[in-house]
Amino acid sequence: MATYLERLLGEREKILFVARQHWFMLLQSILPELALIILLAILISVGWVMWPASPFVALGYLIILLPLISLLRDVLVWANHQYVITTHRVIQIFGVINKNVTDSSLEKVNDVKMEQSFLGRLFGYGDIEILTASELGVNRFTRIGDPVRFKTTMLNAKEQLETGRAAEPQAATPDIPALIAQLDALRKQGVLSVAEFEQKKAELLSKL
């Protein structure tokens, strides 16, 4: 079964690289919830030892579900926020149930700016800013993992796309005068009537 991302692809379009925000961003989101879960687990354990029949112990198990659900939500949000490079586009997807998709054609990418702090270089994260000729203008991807690979993959894909387009053979321009001469020869041979000759001649001249 095709994934949501695969269903977005056009004909002969392939995925080259998929990035997400660095795991530091996920850790930053779930750290308070992890701390609360650990604290509640300790309190529940102590309560179970000291007051095993207390209804507050059972209530503690219900309360601990709240940060667990919040933690699961943060993980799903992080996992479903993707920055994708294909052979034709740069796509940003976010949303777990409701999806929001923004894409920019590689042909419209004018410039790419990458910013990495010392810690970013050390742990492999950074910001990517894409300047495009589209209405969006600037796309900024904050603290994505492996930004160097993201940038080089995108620039290589853009170059290959432009090289492939330039190498495509151009349609040959028909030689209108030569075609009219051939039609005139057919008219003289009686294959075409004068009216047919004039009609086709007019059609050819209109293409000039």
User: What is the H or E stretch that residue 37 is in?
Assistant: helix 23-50
For residue 31, pLDDT over 90 is answered with yes
pLDDT at 122: 93
Task: For residue 104, name the pLDDT band (cuts at 50, 70, 90).
Answer: confident
Task: For residue 165, name the pLDDT band (cuts at 50, 70, 90).
Answer: low
pLDDT at 151: 93
C-alpha angle 174/179/180, rounded to 5°?
Answer: 130
Domains and CATH numbers, the chain: 4-167 (2.30.29), 176-205 (no CATH)
For residue 21, pLDDT over 60 is answered with yes
Residue 157: count of CB within 10 angstroms of its CB:
21
Average pLDDT, integer, range 12-34: 92
Instruction: Report pTM.
Output: 0.69
CA-closest candidate to residue 89, choices 72, 108, 75, 67: 108
For residue 193, pLDDT over 70 is answered with yes
Lowest-pLDDT range of 5-9, 76-80, 163-167, 172-176: 172-176
pLDDT at 177: 76
Average pLDDT, integer, range 154-179: 73
Which token pair is 78? 């992080």
Average pLDDT, integer, range 48-55: 75
Lowest-pLDDT range of 2-6, 54-58, 142-146, 155-159: 54-58
pLDDT at 181: 79
Which token pair is 88? 């034709």
User: What is the H or E stretch that residue 161 is in?
Assistant: helix 147-167
